[in-house]
Amino acid sequence: MQAVWGNITAEQIMASIGGSLKSGDPDTVLKGISTDSRTTQAGDLFWALRGDTYDGHDFAPKALEAGAIAVVVERGRALSARPGKGLDFGDSPPADRVVISVEDTLTALGDLASWWRHQHRHHIQLVGITGSSGKTTTKEMTAAILGLGQNTLKNQGNFNNLIGLPLTLLKLTRNHECAVLEMGMNRPGEIARLTDIADPDVGVILNVGMAHLEGLLDLEGVADAKTELMDRIASKGLVILNGDDALLIQRAARFSKRTMTFGVGPGNDVRATHIENRGTAGTRFSLEYQGSTWPLQLRLPGFHHLKNALAAAAITLGLHQPPEHIIQGLRMFQGIKGRFQVISLPGDVTLVDDTYNANPSSFAAAMESVASLGSGGRIIVGLGDMLELGDVTAKAHREAGRQVAEGGAFALFVIGAHGRDVLEGARMAGMPQHRMTTVDAHGDMTDRIAGMMSEGDLILLKGSRRMKLEKVVEGLRARADHLSP
């Protein structure tokens, strides 16, 4: 019988994770799983995870009060008695609740998700997507195509790590036919572990770029980390690669796996030709595969979105989806908030909201795409820090400034600890000093950009997630709404 919440017992959970029963009835049936005591419901299994800020063990009593019928904790914590904190069971845990102990709850969560995935192996086609940029958009495009004919599961938001991906897998039911999972990482070994957990039928590596260098040191380290997917994917799996990424293809050659490539170069298996840039209206192109050609229309502007679309097309062709689903799915896809989202403001002003995240590769792609929009007006850039870059942080921010200047930007506003490096790079590339400004707050950036805007301008806002540049987007939109007739 397939694993289904409401039929799974504590004994089955223990067997799948190598756990030990500390109290309770092993035949207890579990209705669901929760890692947050605030959303725990009656009959749930509460999983105590340790994080950088909070320790789930400290909230296990609250989960039990909320109705959790079982908890999974780490050995040595199951019987702790710390007044006001932790699992305050006294001399023994409650007899009517199940307590399971494991060595490491994060590892055990991945083990449970792996077991759960294999309970659904024979009716689920699973896709795992990694890369330095474009993962979320490619995941959403792929899910849009697959969803036209099949019940498809995808991870929500940033549920792409060693916690989020397992929790997504644990939502698989007997009704699902496909799953599309984004796989993120910031240190060596994480993609290998995520691949082991998800066991994808199709693995995708979108690109190798300057992201998470704090834990990976350099591009070579990123390439090694991303290609862990090729090392761990099953021999019968299909690996889809960006054929235009030379470093990726070089690294991939080490592995004897079945591959398919996508890109614009002539050697790719899935290729875009006759590319027509239509500015803010998107891109038209011809999709070529195995001697067949189909005309496609993307609503999303930007060359990087074309690459994401090619990856989604390659994935779904690899899964033998009908071409008409690919055409329809990509034509209907409208993009994701904060991911190079083009917003029209009064006065023929174009605002590009690319505030969800930033690294050197994605910033370079954004600047290239902004230049391709062809608005004819001035380009104004608001940039926040790019984080997790380690020793190359200063260099990467100076390079971003250079790209802003050489991209023809009229004005540059920066916020964050590394703003001065951005300005230095722009100054060295010839941008006039009076057109570059450091600001201390989101409201200040909003005020300065709003005060400068004129008809036909194009504004790009981009920064790492923690920089919260969406506040500037919201501020500019509010100003525009106020000015609208």
Q: Looking at this protein, which amino acid is placed at residue 77?
A: R
pLDDT at 82: 46
For tokens 């200063």, what's the residue? 394
Average pLDDT, the chain: 92
Whether pLDDT at 457 is above 90 = yes
**SS3 state at 432:** coil
Beta strands per DSSP E along 224-355:
238-242, 258-263, 270-277, 283-289, 292-298, 341-345, 349-354
Q: Cβ contacts of residue 450 below 8 Å, gap of 6+?
A: 475, 476, 479
Q: What is the distance of C-alpha 335 from the center of its chain?
A: 14
C-alpha–C-alpha distance, residues 202 and 259, integer Å: 10
Model confidence over 235-256: pLDDT tens digits? 999 999 999 999 999 999 999 9
Range of weakest confidence among 77-81, 154-158, 162-166, 360-364? 77-81
How far, in Å, CA of 439 to CA of 458, rounded?
A: 20
Cα angle: 250, vertex 251, 257; to 5 degrees:
105
Residue type, 468: K
For domain 120-332, the CATH architecture is 3-Layer(aba) Sandwich (3.40)
For residue 1, pLDDT over 80 is answered with no
Average pLDDT over residues 137-142: 97
Q: What is the mean pLDDT of residues 306-319?
A: 97
Which CATH superfamily, name and number, covers 8-104?
Answer: MurE/MurF, N-terminal domain (3.40.1390.10)
Distance (Å, rounded) from C-alpha 160 to C-alpha 149?
24
Q: For the segment 416-454, what is each residue's pLDDT rounded down to a tens digit?
A: 999 999 999 999 999 999 999 999 999 999 999 999 999
Say what the pLDDT of residue 212 is: 62
User: What's the average model confidence in pLDDT over 274-289?
Assistant: 94
The rounded distance, in Å, linking the Cα atoms of 111 and 464 is 31
Identify how many contiguous H helices and E strands the chain contains and give both numbers.
Answer: 17, 22
Average of per-residue pLDDT across 397-406:
97
- What are the residue boundaries of the structural domains of the chain, listed by start? 8-104, 120-332, 341-483
Amino acid at residue number 16: S
| pLDDT for res 391 | 87
Tokens of 276: 């027509």
Residue 128 · residue 114 · CB < 8 Å: no
Confidence band for 215, pLDDT divided at 50, 70 and 90? low
Which range has the worst mean pLDDT, 14-18, 283-287, 432-436, 452-456?
Answer: 452-456
String of DSSP letters for 367-414: HHHHHHT---S-EEEEEEPPPS-GGGHHHHHHHHHHHHHHTT-SEEEE
Distance from the first to the final alpha carbon of the chain = 62
- Confirm if 222 and 191 have CB atoms less than 8 A apart: no
**What confidence category does residue 218 fall into, taking pLDDT thresholds of 50, 70 and 90?**
confident
Q: For residue 217, name the pLDDT band (cuts at 50, 70, 90).
A: low
pLDDT at 434: 96
pLDDT greater than 70 at residue 107: yes
pLDDT surpasses 60 at 468: yes
**Which CATH number is 341-483's, of 3.90.190.20, 2.40.50.140, 3.90.550.10, 3.30.470.20?**
3.90.190.20
pLDDT at 45: 97
Q: Is 26 exposed, middle or buried (0-12, 13-18, 19+ CB in 10 A)?
A: middle
How many CB atoms are closer than 10 A to CB 295?
10
Q: What is the pLDDT of residue 79?
A: 44
The reply to whether domains 8-104 and 341-483 share a CATH topology is: no
When pLDDT is averaged across residues 61-73 and rounded to a whole number, the result is 94
For residue 179, the surrounding DSSP H or E stretch is: strand 178-182
Per-residue model confidence (pLDDT) at position 458:
95
Highest mean pLDDT, choosing among 59-63, 405-409, 480-484: 405-409
Confidence at residue 482, expressed as pLDDT on a 0 to 100 scale: 63
Length of the chain: 485
Q: Which of 338, 331, 291, 335 is nearest to 313 (CA)?
A: 331
Output the CA–CA distances (angstroms, integers) from residue 127 to 249, 421, 477, in the order listed. Answer: 20, 39, 37
- Longest distance between any two alpha carbons in the chain, whole Å: 74
Q: How far apart are alpha carbons 321 and 326 in whole angstroms?
A: 8
- Give the three-class secondary structure for 81: coil
Per-residue pLDDT tens for 28-52? 999 999 999 999 999 999 999 998 8
pLDDT at 80: 42
Residue 152 pLDDT > 60, yes or no? yes
pTM, two decimals, is 0.91
In DSSP notation, 16-60 reads HHT-EEEES-TT-EE-EEES-TTT--TTEEEE--B-SS-BGGGGH
Tens of pLDDT, residue by residue over 172-184, are: 999 999 999 999 9
In angstroms, the CA 26 to CA 289 distance is 53
Helix (H, G, I), strand (E, B) or coil at 321: coil
Classify residue 284 as exposed, middle or buried by CB count within 10 Å of its CB (0-12, 13-18, 19+).
middle
Tell whether the model's pLDDT for residue 402 goes beyond 80: yes
Both tokens assigned to 449: 């950009």
> With 90 as the cut, is the pLDDT of residue 375 above it?
no
How far is it, in rounded angstroms, from Cα 295 to Cα 287?
Answer: 6
pLDDT band at 385; cut points 50, 70, 90: very high
pLDDT, mean of residues 456-463: 96
Both tokens of residue 158?
A: 């940033």
